[in-house]
Every structure is written in structure tokens, then in C-alpha cells.
Structure 1
Amino acid sequence: MIWFWLLAAGAQCGLLYLLARAGRALPQREARQAAENCTVPDEKWPKAALIIPVAGEHPNMAAALKSLLCQDYPRLLPILITATAEEPAARLIRDLQKEYPAARHVVAGKAQQCGQKNHNTLQGVAAAGKEAEVYVFCDSTHLARPDFVRCLTGPIVRGEAAFSTGYHMVDARDEQTVTLAYAFCVLLLRLLQALAVFTQPWGGAMAMSRAAFREYGVAELWARNVVDDCSLAGLLLGRGVHVCLCPGALLRTEAAGHALPVWRDWMERQVLFLKFCVPGQWLLLGLLALLMALPPLCAGLALLGGLLNVGSAAAVFTALLYLAALAAVLYVWREFLPAPPPLWRWIWAYFCASAMFVRVYCRTIPARGIIWHGLSYTVGQGGTVLRMQR
């Protein structure tokens, strides 16, 4: 039993170390891409449509949208889309247009056969028409650097890829367990993106050429699907299409007092999207959940047994050895955060994230639908929307 535990613990720490090394390589890749972008004169950058579906009343939305509307891209067409003209996000957009008159506001109407975000996004693409050669898709609640669009479109402009993606990082503004656990989950996904085998488009920061959008039937895919990025990932994986990771296209997500239900629901959606759209990766995710949860559980039982004098000295030693190795690896992970928390809080957040991951994954096994922004979607193979209820 101890040997099996050692094998699982070694695999866990090894994976975390491998991801840390991949993360440490990202700044070099970012610097190389930035230098290559600098060789492209302004007149060579094609007109790009910045398509931003907007919904809800997120407290950071105004600042996030301003950061996207202040991009240094030479020819940018910002298009902000809401489902209705009366919702709070629509009123915010009208206020922003006074300061940024180039921004267009599109009222998409309510979706009927796909996710509302997909519907909004497609209406934004339709509004761009033939004016743009590149489509850039962004979420509305993350802060962007002024060169975000250049970073994201660079590989497309240079002809290196037809699809590119960025990601985001959580700027934890407190040291509460849920906030740090959320930051860990996002960091884990970001570092997985750094491995080529797991690089796939993320809807909060992705770009593609207009030609690729048409060639791969993205509009037809999204018009019947519950989600944009995972459905596109499934399509591109099936076609063997390369997606270029742009480390410089890294959005910042501020988080403080992050609520447990919000974190849990977010995590559940991420797992469900993979289940419906990329089932092979969902199965791998199950192995990852087991790998994250089993070694800490065994360590806890071994230490408890030692305290109660019912366990072996070898089990206690193995538990301490594992915890020391885990602490060393997670210490390295702290360097990827804007403000590294105390190590003990970070380790506890890791344990909580592992437990939540297992709970959420188990809940997704029998699931046949997704609840998102107040809409209930019954989902079929490939993420196709079979029925929706408001």
C-alpha cells in the first residue's frame, strides 16, 4: 500500500514540478513574441474586431472594459454586445461610449438554440462584417495591458497560426482560503496551457483570422453549442489544428472575498464544458482529480494513525516526506502570483482546491446539463444545446 501511495505522491509532485518549469519558460516565450511583434510596422497590422460579450453587473466590469478600449493596436474596431438594451451592462456601455465613441454597441436579443454568450458573440461577428480581417474575442471582467491585442494577434499577423489564445491570472487581494484556492485553480489551468498538448482556445482571450473563422465553420458550430471555447477546442483537436499560446496576452482578474458558491459553480462549469465538448480531456481530468486528492488523503490518515498509535512509523515518515516535497513544489508556484501569500495558507488552499475538484468532478458524472447566467441548458453530444429554459 505504501508503495502505491509513494507512486501517486511522486506522480503528483512530479506533475506540479513539470508545470512549474513550463510556467518559468513563459516569460522567455513572451519576450520572443514581443520582439517579433515589434518588427511589424503599424501599417501591416490588419484591422481587427474586438468582440466583447457583456452581461451581469461585475464590480470590475467598467475598469476591465476601459482597459480593452484603450488598446494601442493601430486599427481596432471595438464591438460590445448585450442581450438586451435595458440590462445594467447595456447602460454601462452607453456611458462608456461617451468617452470612447469608436465603441459599437450591439443588442443581440435572446438566444434560442445556443448559449447566450455564443449568440452575443455571433451577433458581434455579424456587426463587424467584412471590415475586420482578424476577430479578437474577450471577456468583459478582466483587466488588460495596453498591448494585449497586439500580443494576441501577433502569431496570426505573422502567419504562424490561424488561431491564438491567451489566458488570465488571479490577483488575490486577500488571503482568504476560497480566494487563494480560486487563484490556484486558475494558475493550474494557465500552466496546463503552457504544455503544447493541452493548449486550447480560452474564450476570455482568443483570436482567429476571418478566413479561419469561415473555413472551420465556427459560426455554425457556435450557433448550436452551449459554449464557445471548449466546443472550438473539440473541433480543432479533431482537425489537428494548432493553437498558438500567447503568454503576453495575459488578463488580470482581481479577486477579494471570493464566495464559495461562486468558485464552486465556476469550477463545475469548467468541468462540464469539457465533459460535453472534449470528453477525452474530461476523462483525463478525472485522473488528475484522483492524483490531486489521493496523496493528501493518505498523508492525513497516516499522520492521524501516528497520533493515535495505530499506524506504522514507515507510513508517518512517508507522509512527512510527501508533505515536504509538496511544500517545496508549491513554494515555487507562489512566484507566479502577483502577491505571493504565506506558504502555509497556499498549501491549505491547495488541499481545499483538491477536495473541491473531486467533489465537483463527481457531481458532473451524472449531469446532463449546465446552469449558466440564470439559464438552464440540456446538452447533448459535443455540447449541442438540446433544450434551454430561462
Structure 2
Amino acid sequence: MDALPLSVWLVLIAFAVLQAILAAAQAYEHRRFARSRLRSIPACRPAGRVILFVPCRGRDVGIEENLSAFFEQDYADYEIRFLVESADDPVCRSIRRVAAKHPGLCTRIHFTGKAANCGQKVHNLIQGTAELPDDAKYLAFADSDAQPRPEWLRALVSRLDRDDVGAATGYRWFVPVRPTIPNLLATSINASMGMFLGSKNPNIVWGGSWAIQRRRFDELQIRQAWRHKLNDDLVVTSTLRRRRLRIEYEPACAVASPLDLSARQMVDFGRRQYLQGRLYLRRCWLIGLVLTTYSLGAFFAALAAPAMITAGGAAGPWLFACAAAIIYAGWVYRGFQRVRLAEELFPRHRRQLRAVRPLDLLGGPLTALVNWLIFASSAVGRRLVWRGIYYRLDPGGNVLQVRHQEGRPAVAADAPQETAAAAVEQVTAPAATA
């Protein structure tokens, strides 16, 4: 290796080392910010009626425990709307059982019907938000596989009263039901992505834990923005960024999410997330792919370089070896911060999360490689299956075709945008809100 190529390689590796150091610093800052926000929760005292929307499909892992958490929020004035495709969905029985234990909370099930020209979750949200009571001040959204803490709703809406804040969001933290390799990899990769959220970062709304003021929801025409789309949260993120409104990340609204995936399900899940990023936040997706490719490539290049260098001075091999060690140390440090943060956010799940520690602390290159392979696979294709429903999309993320498991495809061009109003079942109706 002559002097010029060696110097070029050293510069490239130096940038990778800098990237590793900055990522480690972000992990430290994320945990510091999370701890400070957790301490401030007792001071959060928002007021105003909240409508909480929970789209459901099928029986998620731990579904009744998940649902119970939504009924046990320490917020005085809210109601829950469960958005379900049909009354035949087995989740309805779980909703009714859990709601029967909490008769003091207004609870409804909206039967939204099948999606024909958008994602089923988006269709549920469009139908569920069609009619809102005049006294609703905030709209909150959650996924049925989430287990929020009791102060979740209070902490979430408390961040919305600043004029420059468009939405507040939490994030999901997977809790592996079984310590299998796919579960551990998905948990570690997902948690590492969440560490890039922060107090001043360009955050992204996560659809399983977010809230918005009702007036802002109407002003931004979120329901109209969802039309023909597969994704809900990235569409909201894009809309807020165009209006230069902040997305406030609230660490207290990170939610535990039980996870049990096969290897195929893990790959499909990861590819689906990145594919939606490519379609709805293309610039973010491209930057993420470039940085992930660069850091991983630099690490393996730095490992291989000492054996390949035959000239260029005795310092060359040692410099590359030191660079690889620093990049690896960055992975270890970030894993350490994730482990400690998980213990602080989810003490109830410490036993299950303990299984992820070795991978978080020592498996940085492996998780980074698996993540990169899934990330790169999202660079092609616009077809996917989500909760048993097949979708085909155009380059702009508009849904062209929806095919439900039982048969004939629905083509978006041939279907109306919105079907008739959703049928509603009043599950519980306390006297004060009936």
C-alpha cells in the first residue's frame, strides 16, 4: 500500500472513528435526558379531555395485559376508542373482558371495515377520527402491542401546549418473551435505533405512542394526509416537518412491547420498517443507509487492513487496529447505556431484558451487520405483507392494491376513499360521559 492510498484510508477511517464517538455521545445524552424527564413526571399536570385511539387486529402477545394498561392511566378525563376491522376479530372479546373491569371509563369499539385503498391501520384511524366531540382537546394514539406505564398519557399530552410543538411521541422497547436469537437481535437493533431520539434531535413520530392537539390535527389536515397511504406515523412526521413544527420526544412514554418472532418474521418486520422509511422519509432513509454502510464497512476494513498493509510505515497497521478498537468500544459503550436505560425505564421487565445484555454489550458488530443487511434489502421493491394483508405501492407511497387473506384484491382506483361511517359499540358509558 503506497503513501497516498494509506493516507486516504486513514482519513476515511478517522471519519468512522468520529462517527462512533458521536454516536456514543448521543447514547450518553439520550440516557441523561431520559433520566431528567422521568424525574419531572410528578410535575406534569395537564388538563383537557383526551380521546385515545387504539387500532387492533388479532391477538397480540399479552393482549389483555396490554389493554389493561390503557384503562389504568392516572389521567382524569379521557375515553378510549378501539378501532377494529370487524366484530369477528377475536380481540373484541379481550376488549370487552378488560373493559368490564373498568366500568367508570368511557370505552367504545369502532368497527371500521376492510381497507381498500390504504393501509388497514390507516383506514382504522381515518374512520375512527371522523367524528370527534367538541370538548376533545388532545388526541392520543397507541398500538395494541404496547404496555404503557400509568403516567404515560399524562406525560404525553403535557408536552403539547407549546406553540412550536406539533406532536409528542414515545417509542417502543421490545421485551423478548423467549431468549431466541431473532428476538434478541430485534430487541437490540430496535433499542439502538431509539437511542437517536432526543431533546433537540429531528425526532420521528412513532405511531404506537404519540399525541397531538385536536386543533392542530384539524389545522394540519392529518386525516387528508393519510388518504391512500400505508403508513400513519411517517406521514405525520413529514407533515409536521413541512410546517416546521417540533416533534417532542418524551422518554416516559417509551412503552414495553412483548416480542416473539421467528427469524423470517424478524426480517420481514425490519424490512417493512425501512421500506416505509424509504417511501415516506426518503432523505432520512438514504442518510441512515449511507452512515450505517460507512461505519460498518470502516470497522471491517480497519480489522482487515493490518494484514493487507505491506508498506507505508510501521505505524500503519497499529493505527488501523486502534481505529477498529475505538469503533468496537463505541458499540460496547452504547450497549452499556441501553442496558442501564432499560433497567431504569422498565424495572418490571428486568428479568426478560437481562437476556439481551450479552448481545448489547459484546455483539455490536453482529447486530450492526444484521441491521445493515435488512436495511439494504429495503432499497428495492414496493410490495409487502403486514398483519396478513398484502399491499402494493407506487413510488410515492400511495397504495395501489390491497389484498386481504380471504381473496379478491381491492384496487385503489376502483374503490371509494372512505366507506360508510364505522359502526360503534358502546362498551362502557359512565353517567358523567354517557
Question: The TM-score by the shorter chain falls in which range?
Answer: 0.7 to 0.9
Moved more, 286-295 or 143-152: 286-295
Is 1:23–2:52 an aligned residue pair? no
Moved more, 211-220 or 94-103: 94-103
1:343 to partner: Cα distance: 5.9
Is 1:167–2:171 an aligned residue pair? yes
The SS at the match of 2:192 is helix
Contact 2:169 2:253 in 1 (8 A): yes
1:168 to partner: Cα distance: 2.1
- Supply the RMSD in Å over aligned alpha carbons: 2.7
1:293 to partner: Cα distance: 2.0
Is 1:259–2:262 an aligned residue pair? yes
Residues 1:106 and 1:218: Cα distance change in structure 2 (over 3 Å): same
Q: What TM-score, normalized by structure 1, do the two folds share?
A: 0.87
1:377 to partner: Cα distance: 2.0
1:287-366 to structure 2, matched below 5 A, reads 287-301=290-304, 313-314=317-318, 315-316=320-321, 318-320=323-325, 322-338=327-343, 339=350, 340=354, 344-347=358-361, 349-366=363-380
Deviations for 1:321-380, whole angstroms, at most 9, x for unmatched residues?
543454344333322223455865324543232222222222222212332112222223
Contact 1:83 1:109 in 2 (8 A): yes
Contact 2:272 2:378 in 1 (8 A): no
Give the structure 1 partner of residue 157 of structure 2.
Answer: 153
1:1-390 to structure 2, matched below 5 A, reads 1=6, 2-4=9-11, 6-31=13-38, 33-38=40-45, 40=46, 45-101=47-103, 102-157=106-161, 161-172=165-176, 175-194=179-198, 196-255=200-259, 258-301=261-304, 313-314=317-318, 315-316=320-321, 318-320=323-325, 322-338=327-343, 339=350, 340=354, 344-347=358-361, 349-390=363-404
Q: What TM-score, normalized by structure 2, do the two folds share?
A: 0.79
1:242 to partner: Cα distance: 1.4
Moved more, 53-62 or 342-351: 342-351
Gaps of 5+ in 2: 1-5, 344-349, 405-434
User: 2:240 and 2:326 mapped to 1: Cα distance?
Assistant: 42
User: 1:326 and 1:201 mapped to 2: Cα distance?
Assistant: 25
1:210 to partner: Cα distance: 1.2
The one-letter amino acid of 1:115's match is G
The one-letter amino acid of 1:374's match is G
Residues 1:57 and 1:10: Cα distance change in structure 2 (over 3 Å): same
The SS at the match of 2:171 is strand
The one-letter amino acid of 1:46's match is G
Which structure exhibits the higher relative contact order, with contacts defined as CA atoms closer than 8 Å and separated by 6 or more residues? 2
Moved more, 202-211 or 184-193: 184-193
Deviations for 1:247-295, whole angstroms, at most 9, x for unmatched residues?
211211233x542222212211111111111111111111132134213
- Aligned residue pairs: how many? 380
Residues 1:318 and 1:228: Cα distance change in structure 2 (over 3 Å): closer
Contact 1:164 1:245 in 2 (8 A): yes
The SS at the match of 1:192 is coil
Contact 1:29 1:247 in 2 (8 A): no
User: 2:369 and 2:288 mapped to 1: Cα distance?
Assistant: 14
Contact 1:184 1:350 in 2 (8 A): no
User: 2:323 and 2:18 mapped to 1: Cα distance?
Assistant: 14
User: 1:229 and 1:269 mapped to 2: Cα distance?
Assistant: 14
Residues 1:12 and 1:216: Cα distance change in structure 2 (over 3 Å): same
The one-letter amino acid of 1:161's match is V
Gaps of 5+ in 1: none
The one-letter amino acid of 2:298's match is P
Deviations for 1:195-252, whole angstroms, at most 9, x for unmatched residues?
5333121100111111111111101111221110011111111221112222211211
The one-letter amino acid of 2:304's match is L
Contact 1:177 1:349 in 2 (8 A): no
User: 2:229 and 2:326 mapped to 1: Cα distance?
Assistant: 47
1:16 to partner: Cα distance: 2.4
Contact 1:78 1:104 in 2 (8 A): yes
1 or 2, which has the higher helix percentage?
1
Contact 2:122 2:229 in 1 (8 A): yes
Contact 1:5 1:298 in 2 (8 A): no
Contact 1:79 1:124 in 2 (8 A): yes
Contact 1:180 1:349 in 2 (8 A): no
Deviations for 1:146-205, whole angstroms, at most 9, x for unmatched residues?
111101111225666342111122334555443332222222222212153331211001
